[in-house]
Copies of this chain bind each other. A is one copy, B any other.
Amino acid sequence: MADRRPRVYLAGPDVFYPDAPAIAARKREICARYGLEGCFPLDNVVALDAPTPAENAFRINDANIELMNSCDAIIANMTPFRGPGMDGGTAFEMGYMRAQGKVIVGYTNDGREYAVRVKNTSRAIRARGNGTFEDQDGLLIEDFGLADNLMMHCGAMRSGGDVVVGNAGALELQTSLEAFEHACALLAEKLRA
């Protein structure tokens, strides 16, 4: 890592946002300010002209896997996506990088703990005994004071990284890059250490 900037895979549901290319450009720019080379999943986009949708999906999958293999670290957008939890594809990528021993820094624009978000979006909650709660479907509400499921939050910590918890407000949930910038600063520092 001495001769080149560390390459950072920029995971997140950002690829589904209305202005994904603009967000990619801003993220790359912020990365550069911290001496990092930001690699966005869309960078590797291949022609999506395969005969079937599934074949196009494989092309994207293969490109993302190759991009992750070429990166030294990952910054993962853990902001809730279509429910109280983070985007599953991003969680997959955190796990993938974790197994490769790479540093993971997660960030979220939602300042609430996972358990609070679940309680806020549940139609009903019930006490399960020994201080735990379940939602209307009888599903245990994981409550360790973390930003999301413990595999992701603890996984980031154990990787030598961290989780940056921002608090962007509903209108800026998709657009704020404040927590992302903190994540870049933190990652740059960790990679220098």
Cβ-defined contact, A92 with B134, below 8 A? no
Contact digits for A93-105, partner B, Cβ 8 Å, 1 yes 0 no:
1111111100000
- Chain B nearest CB from A139 CB (Å) reads 5
Q: Name A157's closest neighbour in chain B (CB-CB).
A: B58
User: Does more than half of chain A's interface fall in helix, strand or loop, or is it mixed?
Assistant: helix
Quick check: is A178 within 8 A (CB to CB) of the other chain?
no
- Chain B nearest CB from A158 CB (Å) reads 7
Cβ-defined contact, B61 with A150, below 8 A? yes
Cβ-defined contact, A61 with B17, below 8 A? no
Q: Name A83's closest neighbour in chain B (CB-CB).
A: B83
Cβ-defined contact, A139 with B95, below 8 A? no
Q: Name A94's closest neighbour in chain B (CB-CB).
A: B92
Select which of B83, B92, B100 is within 8 A of A82 by beta carbon.
Answer: B83
Quick check: is A118 within 8 A (CB to CB) of the other chain?
yes
Cβ-defined contact, A144 with B56, below 8 A? yes
Q: Name A85's closest neighbour in chain B (CB-CB).
A: B88
Contact digits for A148-161, partner B, Cβ 8 Å, 1 yes 0 no:
11111111011000
- Chain B nearest CB from A11 CB (Å) reads 9
Cα A56 to Cα B60 with chains together (Å): 37
Select which of B56, B81, B121 is within 8 A of A139 by beta carbon.
Answer: B81
Cα A89 to Cα B145 with chains together (Å): 16
Select which of B65, B138, B145 is within 8 A of A54 by beta carbon.
Answer: B145
Question: Which A residues are within 8 Å of any B CB, using their own CB?
Answer: 13, 15-18, 52-54, 56-58, 60-62, 64-65, 81-89, 91-100, 118, 121, 134-135, 137-140, 142-146, 148-155, 157-158, 174
